[in-house]
Structure 1
Amino acid sequence: MKKVVVTGGAGFIGSHLTAELAVQGYVVVVLDDFSTASDEKIASLRQKENVELAQGSITDLPRLQKLFEGIDYVFHQAAMARVPRSIEDPLTVNQVNITGTLNVLLAARDNSVKKVVFASSSSVYGDTSVLPQREDLIANPLSPYALTKLAGEYYCTIFTQLYGLSTVCLRYFNVYGPGQDPHSQYAMVIPAFIDRVARNLPPVIHGDGEQSRDFTFIQDVVHANILAAKSTAEGIYNIGSGRSITINQLAEKIIKLMQKDLKPIHEKGRLGDVKHALADITRARTFDYEPKWKLEDGLKMVASSYTHD
């Protein structure tokens, strides 16, 4: 039975990934500082037979060295996420996302881990007039968060070249699904919109709303991670749906889905936000990645998890 570590395994993506790995028969060690995990999520993870919870930080190299003993794969999801947060506190984001990723790679190398799957981000592309975005586009990060993800990719590449550690970097495009926190000041747009509409409040759009995004359902991202780990794939791969929608259109779609009569409110745009994002997923198809979820179906799934009157 293969044993794996999921860093950030109590977070949104990490907890969904942990649940699927457990179902598939892996022994999963969740490394998390639990700073953003709800009691409900932690309790849910504890109930799974082949899941072990390990409290700690990726900034603690000795902890990682011990934890990675006998591990086959490391799914490195832990990070200080969100662009706005990184703009407010670039030093901490640098320490967690860059030094933390270096620690993960060092511990993986020293314990002869078979592969590290690194959670990168479409934010590394920045603003580009070339759509869809392909992996060979020149990166143009517009925020400290995007820069840390690009640095993580470079570190992965270097560790593969210098030390023979197999690594694969997945550039996620706007991941959404059940279990995202809609109340954080850094909340992602879909849970934030759905939460407000469920409470008969208009969705708040930053900027003119004509910015477009490629939204990727969580289960597609989970399967991409597992496929990438089990395959011979190395290097950088986009993980998206291959379709985009403007934020204005998204708001309309959610209001209609939830059968409300609301008009969005527009506020000023946010620093570091890119104008357009759309994934070219041709390369990821080489390890059999294929997005299964349409946006409409994913939105219904998320909306059904809200119980507001």
Structure 2
Amino acid sequence: MIENSKVLVTGGAGFIGSNLVDRLLAQNNQVVCLDNFSTGKLENLEKALKNPEFILIEGDIRNYDDCRKAVVGCTCVLHQAALGSVPRSIADPVTSTDVNIGGFVKMMFAAKDEGVGRFVYASSSSVYGDHSGLPKVEHQIGKALSPYAVTKYADELLAANFSAMYGIETVGLRYFNVFGPRQDPSGSYAAVVPKFINSIINHENLHVFGDGTFSRDFTYIENVLQAIQLAASTPSSIIKERQQAYYKRNQELRVPGISETIAEVFNTAVGQYTSIAELADTLKRILARFDHTLARVDVTYGPARPGDVPHSMASCEKSQAILGYKPTHTISQGLEETCNWHWQRAHLNVRQ
């Protein structure tokens, strides 16, 4: 765990960021949040704003002065700020690139200038692109299928370069379809889990892109919070020792001339896959416990979306071997908790 430290969380008003902020505050840290609220929400920080150890800076990672202001005195940066969504990046690649690459470089350079030792950042399973192999392993990627995927791979390359050039330690986490409380169910670019839950609660048909056989390694937020903390707090000496053992077992992964500075990328997932059709059935079954009529919500199917990868499932071998990562929640456990949260929130709003 990260304890008794000053930590910067960029994108701290977002779904992952706000959950991370609350966890860090509960562990006796001083937490700085940098967010421009383009996708994050102030309501996600309701609890944090009551804590005297929380500092909110409304600013933009594309503004270098904002980045420098936010990182002052911080021991590590947990960079969650980004414009997510493959469809959004296809509709507006200019803004996605500006935020996800331009903002990434400014934030990482500010961290370097402040003398931050380690920079942990959110990458994405979209980096694997059209590589068809399962499970996905970190050293085998294909051709990117969307501007969003390109931005995340560019971040990984930039992080490795910064480590070699400037000595800052970087750890990228390739998130696989993260879900959980506070994830926004509305809007054109909503993720499938909250969108389906919201539709079911409102007795609306579920629309599936494709025939329902596409599958994902859905990853509950608690697993992600664990991975972030391990990536940030595992001592350098332990990482290097475990790296040597891991690469000795997998000698084909050795990259000639690799920097001695830590510059790693890890999958953050469960290592299981669930089809979209199975996801819809599971969510209806869980929510039917609150209202039996929800089991009758219809599912319709249509054309697949451009840029969507058919199947995605991670190997967690590397993250387990080097970071000690062990997922605590299966998809079933995560969906139970997430459905409970959305149901309570929906009915609290009704009563108000």
TM-score normalised by L of structure 2: 0.85
Contact 1:182 1:195 in 2 (8 A): yes
Q: Percent identity?
A: 40
Report if the CA contact (8 A) 1:182-1:191 is conserved: yes
Larger radius of gyration: 2
1:86 to 85, 89, 94: 89
* 8 Å Cα contact 1:80-1:97 kept in structure 2: yes
SS in 1 for 2:310: coil
**84, 95, 99: which is aligned to 1:96?**
99
Per-residue deviation, residues 167-186 of structure 1 (Å, max 9, x unmatched): 00000000000111111111
Q: Which residue of 1 aligns with 2:256?
A: none
Q: CA deviation at 1:45?
A: 2.5
Task: Tell me the distance in 2 between the aligned counterparts of 1:146 and 1:130.
Answer: 17
- Cα distance in 2 for partners of 1:37, 1:160 equals 29
The equivalent residue for 1:268 is 303
Listed as ranges, the gaps of 5+ residues in structure 1 are: none
Q: Is the 8 A contact 2:184 2:190 kept in 1?
A: yes
RMSD (CA atoms): 1.3
Give the one of 132, 137, 157 matched to 1:154: 157
C-alpha displacement of 1:294: 1.4
SS in 2 for 1:49: coil
Q: Please point out which of 283, 294, 304 is paired with 2:318.
A: 283
CA separation of 1:38/1:107 partners in 2, compared to 1, >3 Å: closer, same or farther? Answer: closer
- Ranges of 4+ aligned residues in structure 1 off by more than 4 Å: none
Shift of 1:198: 1.2
* Contact 1:127-1:276 at 8 Å conserved across structures: no
Superposed CA deviations along residues 254-278 of structure 1, whole A, max 9, x for unmatched, are 1122221233111221111111100
Q: Which protein has the bigger helix share?
A: 2
Where 2:21 maps in the other structure, the secondary structure is: helix
Question: Which amino acid in the other structure matches residue 257 of structure 1?
Answer: I
Equivalents in 2 of 1:291, 1:141: separation in Å? 27
Amino acid at match of 2:216: R
Match of 1:192 among 176, 192, 195: 195
- The within-5 A match list for 1:31-180 is 31-180=34-183
TM-score (norm 1): 0.97
Q: How far apart are the structure 2 equivalents of 1:301 and 1:66? A: 37
Q: Per-residue deviation at 1:253?
A: 1.1
